[in-house]
Amino acid sequence: MHAQQENHDEQAVQDLCDRMRRFVDDIAIPAESPAIARDVTALDRRVAELRVRAREAGLYAPQLPAEWGGLGLGWRALARLLEEAGRSFLGPAALNCAAPDQPNMLTLLRLGDPTQQERFLAPLVRGEQRACFAMTEPAPGAGSDPSMLQTRAERRAGRWVLNGHKQFISGGVGADFALVLARAEEGATLFLVSADTPGYRVVRDIGMVTGYQIGGHAEIALTGCEVGDDAVLGEPGRGLEYAQLRLEPARLSHCMRYIGRARRALETAQAYVARRDSFGSRLADLQQIQAMVADSHIDLHASRLMTGDCAARMDAGLSVKQHSAMTKVFVSEAVNRVADRAVQMMGASGLSEDTPVAMVWQEMRPFRIYDGANELHRATLARRLLARA
């Protein structure tokens, strides 16, 4: 799953980024509204409208190969495009290149058989359906440690019967199907489960601090949920391996999008301090403000370099288990610092809905938990490094 499509030539990528910037400024950002930020139904409608415009602009599905209607971008090119798209809360979703469906599509491309791809992948690509990845469970179940998986899949009369409880499932409200991780006799196994399957039930949308999450964050109950052998994605018993294959590109894509989001918060704050006077001078003339601006640009520059290096490794088909973890830890903390400084530079304005800064700040904090808590990544990295020593 690491090797992405070929990287386009520099000029072609720059042209795409220029078009993406215009799309975000002229179409995606004007479509934002705090009124729809946590309204799942309204978000679905708004994103559907934006996807029509993205297709017209030739920007749709940059992560997918041309034979699936995408732009076939390599990871290095995608990093640049997703930063531009990520400046808008709605930009990545407009491209159909937002979590959770971006990694869901890549997973189905890698593991799905032709029948599964026609039934599940094709509607995702066209934007006609949504999916979720159902791994996280209430304690003592799986979270940052997938090996704690409690959901069970048992063989009965030639069928699989799933029983379990999932929570904090991004995109789960209104999803047409789920990629469900469950423990079978063979080991953890990944299943494709349609949302209309008897025994599959969305309990609620869990209110979260973040906004603009397509499909919210669902709690899902699986009670005697029966599926056939054709629902197994890949091979039984390899579910944990597949989950990691999905998570590595997902982490990196989050970095790309959130660099763009943090950049927007910083640009907003810079414009504010350049025009705001206090105690007889512009805020921009104060050294403490200047230090915040400089440190934020340093954080963003370092984040781009780490993300770009990891992307290049993925393009080359190299393992990025260690590099994606390091990148995720650093970038998630760096963009959080940038957003926090932007709020501080703007004072009360940075905490209001009058600008996008407060929402960016709220988004950045959870990234240290999403796709594996940073503490877990640090511990895993340290064990690997010390084992080599």
CATH code for position 24: 1.10.540.10
Give the largest Cα separation in the chain, rounded.
80
Positive or negative, the Cα torsion across 343, 344, 345, 349? positive
- Burial 340-370, CB ≥16 within 10 A → b, else e: bbbbebbeebbeeeebbbbbbbbbbebbbeb
Stretch 232-259: mean pLDDT: 96
pLDDT at 1: 43
Among 233, 268, 300, which residue terminates a domain?
233
Task: Say yes or no: 15 and 81 in one domain.
Answer: yes
Whether residues 41 and 161 fall in one domain: no
CA-to-CA distance for 311 and 12, rounded, in angstroms? 18
Residue carrying the six token digits 């929402």: 359
Q: Are residues 285 and 369 in the same domain?
A: yes
Q: Are residues 299 and 374 in the same domain?
A: yes
CATH code at 212?
A: 2.40.110.10
User: If pLDDT is split at 50, 70 and 90, which confidence band does 9 have?
Assistant: confident
Task: Find all residues with CB under 8 Å of 58, minimum gap 6, and list them.
Answer: 19, 71
pLDDT digits (tens, 9 = 90+) for 268-281: 999 999 999 988 99
**C-beta of residue 315 within 8 angstroms of C-beta of residue 74:** yes
> 142, 66 in Cβ contact below 8 A?
no
Q: For residues 228 and 268, state if they share a domain.
A: no
Alpha carbons within 13 angstroms on the beta-carbon side of residue 152 total: 7
Q: In the numeric block, which tokens belong to residue 70?
A: 């995408």
Mean pLDDT on 16-23: 98
CA–CA distance, 259 with 91 (Å, rounded to integer): 13
What's the sign of the alpha-carbon dihedral 38, 259, 77, 310? Answer: negative
* E strand intervals along 113-263: 131-134, 152-156, 159-170, 177-184, 187-194, 200-205, 217-227
333 half-sphere exposure, CB direction, 13 A CA radius: 12
Domain shared by 218 and 281, yes or no: no
Indicate the average pLDDT of the chain: 96
- Structural domains of the chain, count: 3
Residue 380 lies inside a defined structural domain of this protein = yes
Beta bridge partners of 191: 180, 232
Which pLDDT tens digit goes with each residue over 90-125? 999 999 999 999 999 999 999 999 999 999 999 999
Burial class (CB in 10 A: 0-12, 13-18, 19+), 248: buried
Which CATH number is 251's domain given? Answer: 1.20.140.10
Q: What are phi and psi of 88, to 5 degrees?
A: -105, 140
Q: Is a pLDDT exceeding 50 seen at residue 4?
A: no
User: What is the DSSP secondary structure assignment for residue 364, as one 8-state letter?
Assistant: H
Same domain, 264 and 326: yes
Domain that holds residue 53: 1-112
Q: Check whether 7 has a pLDDT greater than 70.
A: no
Could you tell me if 86 and 257 are in contact, meaning their C-beta atoms sit under 8 angstroms apart?
yes
The pTM of this model reads 0.95
HSE value, Cβ hemisphere, 13 Å, CA-based, for 353: 7
Domain final position from 196, 214, 233: 233
Secondary structure (3-state) at 134: strand
In the chain, count H helices and then E strands: 12, 9
281 and 333: one domain? Answer: yes
CB 58 within 8 A of CB 102: no
How far is residue 248's CA from residue 373's CA, in Å, rounded to a whole number? 14
pLDDT digit string (tens) for 295-316?
999 999 999 999 999 999 999 9
Decide if 82 contacts 253 (C-beta within 8 A). Answer: yes
State the DSSP code for 57: T
CA distance 46 to 56: 16
In a domain, 293, yes or no: yes
In-domain check, residue 123 = no
Rounded Cα distance between 353 and 261, Å, is 16
Q: What is the pLDDT of residues 140-155, one digit of tens each?
A: 999 988 889 999 999 9
